[in-house]
Structure 1
């Protein structure tokens, strides 16, 4: 099945420096199947029109297809369509939420984050804390890069936080966090719970009704979709209690020079002409994901991850960081004192595309006391041959560095 699926991704067959591409940077952005590329192209070639309130056929058809993707996404996440807001991505979504929730914060409020957060789930809360006097507290984790779950639960009970905002899966290490139990622990204190699902959206297909969070954010480009698009789920009543984030057309009810009234969610947070082609492309991505047998996909990714980890552990000097028992398929490693950038640069000459650096998680790297890692992030379109090519290239790279 996987070899058949690989044929759907045109860039996987590209040569890099005359070497076959081995793409291991899906945590940064996934490759796109031809159906997604075609959906974007088809819109601009044959359907291009603005959505909402247009009286002509092209506009009406574009609106119908655009809003149908909202329905499709709501079904994917098991929520109501009125609770889905289109944004530019997870970063935009987190800024919207942090801005909106600032009104409920004061100098006695506590915002709880984890050490594993992407900068996009740190800096907006820092800005909110600076505006309101709220305090940020970080959950405990081991020096190996694993969340101390029991201690985190105890800390939540002690702090009774106003807000808990945590990634479902770490972009830097791949750790899957038991966010459900953290959310459940927070409910006793009416804590607003925010889940960064940028990495879990595709790999875990979270059921938000079961997860029971108040907000969930994601980026389309990390789930086979186009860049520049993402969104958030928010409980409808909670969404409508937030102040507007940006203003303009589309999100208004009435406008006069004496004042303006706004529409309800989700339109309240969707000013201006939206990323129509991106939404339609994302609709094609959701179709693609829904047509893959979920259990087979998870089984394949898990087997591939275990094969990668076992091969890396056989290389003396390699240290793997994070939780390898609960992981979405990301291996973040260092090799002795060699710089991560040097290793990644040499791997590129073999056609192996990995990410090096701090992965927008500088506080995490400081906690681990390392400058950065080499990150190998898998997706279902990878295969065992990719792993073999990578391991061979890494061994040769190490030999060159140690000459």
Structure 2
């Protein structure tokens, strides 16, 4: 059952309560490999469901438009202080509702409509909000897109520099949603400085790895850093923007009043809790274990004949091109879900298939590492993945998976 228990919800709305318990059970039973998901601690869950959701707090600490902020100001101050300590930044804004609004704030702060922004193309592993055509960022701004090399699956920084010099964007994004390799923040910073652009590092996927010292930090290279607070950071569904002192005022003004009203105070509190957890030595151990598991899983998948974009991974994320397996990403993801293994279908660089029916699947090791799985278990996961992809009995695999996962405790769940 769900932990913390929900007796009041059960009494008031048993239908919703039943769904909450069902989701908790589903998360417990499955191998969750969606790269953007994780398990939060019970403490984060409790903060998210607290009475802080009752309070409206437009503005910033000491400068609110509503009275009664004596406690809320302390909550936000605590979250900001912990973000600054954890990442070593001069300024942190913990109010953005999610990652996309955080990125939009960077546009509002530093660009005028129609000006150029440069980001990784979505099919290459970038994010919608880095200037892709279907996003508001691609409709309201002129988008310049860099790619990865077709032969290596990696970003060629010389090509990025040549494109930046030719197009002269005012803002450059580095980071994305399907990048299995280390982001070269110093190289991006040098290019941005050469053309006078603002560099924004979107570390939504790798924030926890950066915090735990398992991935190089953009601090000191990118003056603006955006991130979600879940994924590898293992916090609630929220976001932060971190900057140097010179860019702080513009970002704060863009977040409020530029894009949103009152922050979600229960989320701010949960962010503070997660950041406090990430400041503990055990979190660094966790972050390095996430990477070790991803490398071990990647190696086991290669041994079973899977084609990995870029040949492997440096972080938590693995991108698989299933073309050689004679199955597309969507039916493979659906077969894996039936087999108790949860991930998502995904485009791969230079994909010849459509985005809603692409050639690849994307997976990550943040959640299974939280459950306590280690490198010794990764070959077993690779075996189940292969069996499901080639069409073995999904129900049989799902039973094996659920029996296996029963041995690994899950934050937020207890057997009833």
| TM-score, shorter chain, exceeding 0.5 | yes
Instruction: Name the counterpart of 1:320.
Output: 308
User: For 2:236, which of 226, 229, 243 is the aligned residue?
Assistant: 226
User: For 1:215, which of 183, 200, 224 is the aligned residue?
Assistant: 224
Instruction: Name the counterpart of 2:388.
Output: 397
1:342 maps to 2:348: no
Instruction: Name the counterpart of 1:374.
Output: 361
Residues 128 and 375 (structure 1), Cα distance of their counterparts in 2 relative to 1, 3 Å cut: closer
Contact 1:144 1:368 in 2 (8 A): no
Deviations 1:178-210 (A, max 9, x none): 122111232132211111111121122264542
Residues 189 and 172 (structure 1), Cα distance of their counterparts in 2 relative to 1, 3 Å cut: closer
Contact 1:161 1:191 in 2 (8 A): yes
Instruction: Name the counterpart of 1:257.
Output: none
Secondary structure of 1:32's aligned partner: coil
Aligned pairs, number: 352
- For residue 118 of structure 1, report the CA deviation from its aligned partner: 1.2
Residues 75 and 268 (structure 1), Cα distance of their counterparts in 2 relative to 1, 3 Å cut: farther
Residues 277 and 14 (structure 1), Cα distance of their counterparts in 2 relative to 1, 3 Å cut: closer
Contact 1:143 1:367 in 2 (8 A): no
Residues 340 and 207 (structure 1), Cα distance of their counterparts in 2 relative to 1, 3 Å cut: closer
Distance (whole Å) between structure 1 residues aligned to residue 284 and residue 133 of structure 2:
36
1:31 maps to 2:1: no
Distance (whole Å) between structure 2 residues aligned to residue 70 and residue 124 of structure 1:
34
Instruction: Name the counterpart of 1:4.
Output: none
Residues 343 and 356 (structure 1), Cα distance of their counterparts in 2 relative to 1, 3 Å cut: same
Secondary structure of 1:304's aligned partner: helix
Contact 2:317 2:362 in 1 (8 A): no
Contact 2:30 2:340 in 1 (8 A): yes
Secondary structure of 2:308's aligned partner: strand
In the superposition, the TM-score normalised over structure 1's length comes to 0.74
1:87 maps to 2:96: yes
1:141 maps to 2:145: no
Deviations 1:55-80 (A, max 9, x none): 55xx4123212221112112222223
Distance (whole Å) between structure 1 residues aligned to residue 114 and residue 387 of structure 2:
54
Deviations 1:216-243 (A, max 9, x none): 111122222222x212224444454579
Comparing 67-76 with 367-376, which one deviates more in the overlay? Answer: 367-376
Secondary structure of 1:150's aligned partner: helix
Deviations 1:344-366 (A, max 9, x none): 222223321111233xxxxxx46
Secondary structure of 2:350's aligned partner: helix
Instruction: Name the counterpart of 2:180.
Output: 174
Secondary structure of 1:393's aligned partner: helix
Distance (whole Å) between structure 2 residues aligned to residue 195 and residue 323 of structure 1:
24
Distance (whole Å) between structure 1 residues aligned to residue 148 and residue 66 of structure 2:
53
Contact 1:140 1:152 in 2 (8 A): no
Secondary structure of 2:391's aligned partner: helix
- For residue 325 of structure 1, report the CA deviation from its aligned partner: 5.1
Contact 1:85 1:231 in 2 (8 A): yes
1:54-65 counterparts in 2 under 5 A?
56=68, 59-65=69-75
Contact 1:98 1:124 in 2 (8 A): no
Instruction: Name the counterpart of 1:101.
Output: 110
- For residue 320 of structure 1, report the CA deviation from its aligned partner: 1.1
Secondary structure of 1:287's aligned partner: helix
- For residue 111 of structure 1, report the CA deviation from its aligned partner: 3.1
Instruction: Name the counterpart of 1:251.
Output: none
User: For 2:291, which of 295, 299, 302 is the aligned residue?
Assistant: 302
Distance (whole Å) between structure 2 residues aligned to residue 188 and residue 398 of structure 1:
47
RMSD between aligned residues? 3.5
